Structure 1
């Protein structure tokens, strides 16, 4: 019966835009076996690291030059192009079709950008330097007017505005009754672009680095990309090598990184039958998002607070066990970037199924932005298909790809945390002891993440 309900939801994708679905199909697979194998892989990584020589661990995050850097300052030009594309999308949100599955704005925001471009930022490298829609217009405005920043960004604020804005973005994504409504999304998107540009005019580029949530998110995930700039070269290395190059982060950025993971996991948790049961809602008779706005916001805050507390406890216990000289605050900030591979892995896994479906709608919307029969991309008679959810073989491939993203993210996180511990502590023994509580936490979180993927959805 549950599978039938979820198949019905698949046939009505407008209600699930920008959210993963089809988890009911994995009930046909031996997910308990796959979860056990994934957790065992992460646990085995912990054991191997305890025996591995320190120089081997450090060598894992070596980078190699690929190409000399090109010195052409074109990023402001591409940024202006990105701003023009965004303006066109906002216009389509107001004047285009009302259906979120044919209007290009919600498909671009929730599918192309939030799923595709964020994942690409973490997997490949920092494309945000070229696609950020504010740096170019701000530079052009400064050149035309001769204006400089009016005020200096207050140091005491740190990343607090960025954290608050990201939580607001999460509330829009998870709790707003209609986050994909084109007109509402156009209002939010256009207003946020103008507000951010005003912040850059008043406080200079530091506003983007400290207070603009999307830039903070992208810069954080850029630390995980395979490609990156090092010296005069474009270099490549295992995800995390850029973290080792610059291991320390500010306290506010450390909290922001943890909130990335907490928000992503709650995005999956709040759709499960278990969560709806906690709220006292029959998952087969879900009353709609508007009925659980308050509960969703409180759950989001509680999930992030619990994660930060659990992470902090693991760091504190590790320092006590290893009798390390490093302070708690410094260790909290040092090891926070090791959470990024987990957050990125779950982001990729959670949204893979929706990207496979909504990505097709995005192609159609780009080809026919006004829904008037145009065919700009030459797609011809292109029909959106969900046939890959209809056979066990393809569902197994999709789910194993999701599970693989989660497991690989945790394995890289454990390697990175151990390498950071070796960087900060005097001996390999102390490094291993300091990581014991955090490693246990990551093994348990692997089980939790895979359980989320396999759990049936009630939304």
Structure 2
């Protein structure tokens, strides 16, 4: 079994190399209107082929080979010590950022409020949660203040969270957050963002005080987001100890999520996909807008919100349709809802990969502004990090070599996410379906869907953007 696993890993390394060494295609279009109109067909074809070959390999491997890749190594005893202390410190940092949002510069590249919300948290900390380990236990800004309030008042949560609501409030909150991110005319305006962030912090804290921890793990959209992505991390908890394994190992060991949480997982992917799609020239053409004379977000708010909802509904429908067809091909009698909940977590690697790839260029630029903000957090000319002569550069967008490196990194991340997703889906199918033949037949439509989505994702990365 170990020998087979090593062979599978070697194969995946080879097909990944096909993507990373594909011939001299020279295109890339990063965020914020950076466009190089050069062909990317070779990279896209290589990425789709590598994922397709992975599907073929898994169909030929004996049972248990895919699941063996997700074996874990148990490390040290798990602990959540000082998490209330660090939570209070995070809440204090948020309060400082809100204050600076109202009182600091209105320039979002200078004011630390939008820099820390969109770059440090939304790009950096979400990625860290999904790739490395669940830091949200310590960086959640609500659990510590709620514990302090409970300690001072001696009061317990007066209400019980309604079980029938499940995770649906979290789905609604995340969709609202995505709508603000993608459709609001000025989501990076420091004062506007500070007002929304401050109000949301108070509302979430109120929910935690009134309903207890159940509110945080079921209804609070940001925490549910972080808990879902934690299932993809290399590090996690297993039988009282910290364990490590291939990204996705926790998905294999956890039971299937409830329907609302499964839908949340699909919404993560749909939102990330639309986040890239709504900036493309193609989408501008659908809206009838000249991408080189974009009239501003305020002119397309309704269309953007409709596109966000429509993209998510289309993805959920396509995913459910592939599962329905797979169940018919395999001859199983599993209800569609059960299959949807079982296989939805296999989408997580794709959603996380899109998040990382889509925001890589933003991180390269805005990360430099974050360093400048850390160097002078009060805007009074201080140089806490000794970066008095630090200048932000975008020179790496001006040379073919660095542009090609950025594109290859993004493409490699996307392909790796799809390969892991197929491995997960295959392992979940074999775990829950009797017989290898039935499992492979049942997974075939879903695998085809993932291959097609690989090509779509690489096209998104390479498409010219108009925002």
Which interval holds the TM-score relative to the shorter structure?
A: over 0.9
Contact kept in structure 2, 1:97 and 1:370, CA below 8 Å: no
Unaligned segments of structure 2, at least 5 residues: 1-27
Q: Which stretch shifts more, 258-267 or 373-382?
A: 373-382
Q: Distance in 2 between matches of 1:337 and 1:247?
A: 10
Counterpart of 2:43 in structure 1 is 34
| SS of residue in 1 equivalent to 2:35 | helix
Counterpart of 2:31 in structure 1 is 20
Contact kept in structure 2, 1:317 and 1:437, CA below 8 Å: yes
Per-residue CA deviations over 1:144-187 (Å, capped at 9, x if unaligned) read 11111111111111111111111110111000000000001010
Say yes or no: does 1:104 pair with 2:104: no
Say yes or no: does 1:200 pair with 2:211: no
Q: Distance in 1 between matches of 2:385 and 2:266?
A: 40
Within the candidate set 241, 252, 268, 2:249 is matched to 241
Unaligned segments of structure 1, at least 5 residues: 1-6, 11-18
Q: Distance in 2 between matches of 1:305 and 1:103?
A: 36
Counterpart of 1:407 in structure 2 is 415
- Give how far 1:372 is off: 2.1
Q: Distance in 2 between matches of 1:59 and 1:23?
A: 42
Counterpart of 2:454 in structure 1 is 446
Contact kept in structure 1, 2:31 and 2:465, CA below 8 Å: no
Contact kept in structure 2, 1:115 and 1:348, CA below 8 Å: yes
Within the candidate set 284, 287, 293, 1:285 is matched to 293
Per-residue CA deviations over 1:316-362 (Å, capped at 9, x if unaligned) read 11111101132211110010000000000000000000110001001
How do residues 177-256 of structure 1 correspond to structure 2 at under 5 angstroms? 177-256=185-264
Q: Distance in 1 between matches of 2:34 and 2:53?
A: 28
Counterpart of 2:382 in structure 1 is 374
Contact kept in structure 1, 2:64 and 2:427, CA below 8 Å: no
Contact kept in structure 2, 1:103 and 1:370, CA below 8 Å: no
Contact kept in structure 2, 1:20 and 1:352, CA below 8 Å: no
- Give how far 1:24 is off: 1.3
Q: Distance in 2 between matches of 1:95 and 1:107?
A: 15
How do residues 329-368 of structure 1 correspond to structure 2 at under 5 angstroms? 329-368=337-376
Counterpart of 1:120 in structure 2 is 128
- Give how far 1:143 is off: 1.1
Contact kept in structure 1, 2:347 and 2:421, CA below 8 Å: yes
Contact kept in structure 1, 2:80 and 2:137, CA below 8 Å: no
TM-score, reference length from structure 2:
0.92
Per-residue CA deviations over 1:48-89 (Å, capped at 9, x if unaligned) read 0000111211201111112233x4621111111111111111
Say yes or no: does 1:56 pair with 2:42: no
| SS of residue in 1 equivalent to 2:110 | coil
- Give how far 1:23 is off: 5.0
Q: Distance in 2 between matches of 1:158 and 1:44?
A: 39
Counterpart of 2:11 in structure 1 is none
Counterpart of 1:437 in structure 2 is 445
- Give how far 1:409 is off: 0.4
CA-based RMSD of the aligned residues comes to 1.3
Counterpart of 2:88 in structure 1 is 80
Counterpart of 1:3 in structure 2 is none
- Give how far 1:369 is off: 1.8
| SS of residue in 2 equivalent to 1:290 | helix
Within the candidate set 231, 254, 266, 2:274 is matched to 266
TM-score, reference length from structure 1:
0.94
| SS of residue in 2 equivalent to 1:310 | helix
Contact kept in structure 2, 1:247 and 1:420, CA below 8 Å: no
Q: Distance in 1 between matches of 2:64 and 2:293?
A: 57
Per-residue CA deviations over 1:413-441 (Å, capped at 9, x if unaligned) read 00000100011111111111110000000
- Give how far 1:380 is off: 2.5
Alignment size in residue pairs: 440
| Moved >3 Å (runs of 4+) | none
Relative to structure 1, is the Cα distance of residues 319 and 23 closer, same or farther in structure 2, using a 3 angstrom cutoff? farther
Q: Distance in 2 between matches of 1:158 and 1:91?
A: 34
Q: Distance in 2 between matches of 1:249 and 1:369?
A: 42
How do residues 299-318 of structure 1 correspond to structure 2 at under 5 angstroms? 299-318=307-326
Per-residue CA deviations over 1:84-108 (Å, capped at 9, x if unaligned) read 1111111110111111000000000
- Give how far 1:364 is off: 0.5
Contact kept in structure 1, 2:33 and 2:466, CA below 8 Å: no
Per-residue CA deviations over 1:259-307 (Å, capped at 9, x if unaligned) read 0000000000000000000001111111001000000000000000000
